[in-house]
Amino acid sequence: MTLKEYKKKRKFKKTPEPPPSVAKKARTAMAKKIFVVQKHFARNLHYDFRLEMYGVLKSWAVPKGVPEKPGIKHLAVMVEDHPLEYANFSGVIPQGEYGAGLVEIWDKGTYEMVEATEKAYKIMMHGKILKGEYVLFNFKNDKNWLLFKTKI
Ligand SMILES: [Mn+2]
C-alpha cells in the first residue's frame, strides 16, 4: 500500500487532515511502546520488568524472572516508575548505593496493550526472548502482582 493517491488528492496547507508522514508517526507512537527486562544482580538477584506507560516506565521486580512458558505464575512486585531513558541502562550500581550491583539488559522490545483494567494488564510482547501474550494481575494491595504467559 502506498499513500501516493491520498497525498495527490489533498492540499495539506488547506485541509486539517494529517499528511501521511505525520499520521504514520502518530500511529506508531500510539501502538508501539517499549518494554525492557533487566537482570539485576543486587543483594538478591531479580529481574526488573518495565513497560512504557504514560511517558514513564512502570516497573516491577520479579524475583524468579519472567516465565517463558504458559502455566507458570511469578510474583511481580511493583516498584517506582523509572524514566524512559532507563530502558537503555546497563552497568554497575556502586556498592553502598540503592540497588548496588550489576544491571544487564535481559530482553528489550516493544509491546502492545491488548486490554487494561485497574487490576490487570494484558499485553502482547515483541521481544527477542519474550514473545506472545502476557498478563499482569494485581492480586493484593497495589504492589503485589502475578506475571504469567497465556497460551496465545
Ligand atoms: Mn532492581
Using the mean position of ligand 1's atoms as its centre, give its distance from the Cα of residue 60 in Å: 8
- Give one word for 52, left, alpha or beta, with left for phi > 0 and alpha for psi -120 to 50: beta
Residue 3 within any structural domain of the chain: no
**10-residue averages of pLDDT along the chain (152 residues):** 67 73 52 92 96 90 97 95 88 87 96 93 97 97 96 86
Cα of 35 from ligand 1 centre, angstroms: 15
- Going from the Cα of 8 to the center of ligand 1, the distance in angstroms, rounded, reads 52
**Residue 118 counted as domain residue:** yes
Q: For residue 2, tell me if it sits in a domain.
A: no
Model pLDDT, residue 99: 87
Q: How far is the CA of 123 from the centre of ligand 1 (A)?
A: 22
Question: What distance in angstroms lies between residue 16's CA and the mean position of ligand 1's atoms?
Answer: 46
Structural domain tally of the chain? Answer: 1
107 assigned to some structural domain = yes
Whether 4 maps to a domain, the answer reads no
Quote the ligand 1 centre to 138 CA distance (angstroms).
Answer: 19
Q: Is residue 81 part of a domain?
A: yes
Backbone angles phi, psi at 112, to 5 degrees: -125, 140
Give domain status of residue 39, yes or no.
Answer: yes
Structure confidence at residue 1 (pLDDT): 44
pLDDT of res. 51: 97
Residue 9: what pLDDT? 74
What does the alpha-carbon distance between residue 128 and residue 89 come to, in Å, rounded to a whole number?
Answer: 17
Range of the domain at 24: 19-149
What pLDDT is stored for residue 139 in this prediction? 96
Place of cell 511481580: 76
Would you say residue 122 lies in a domain? yes
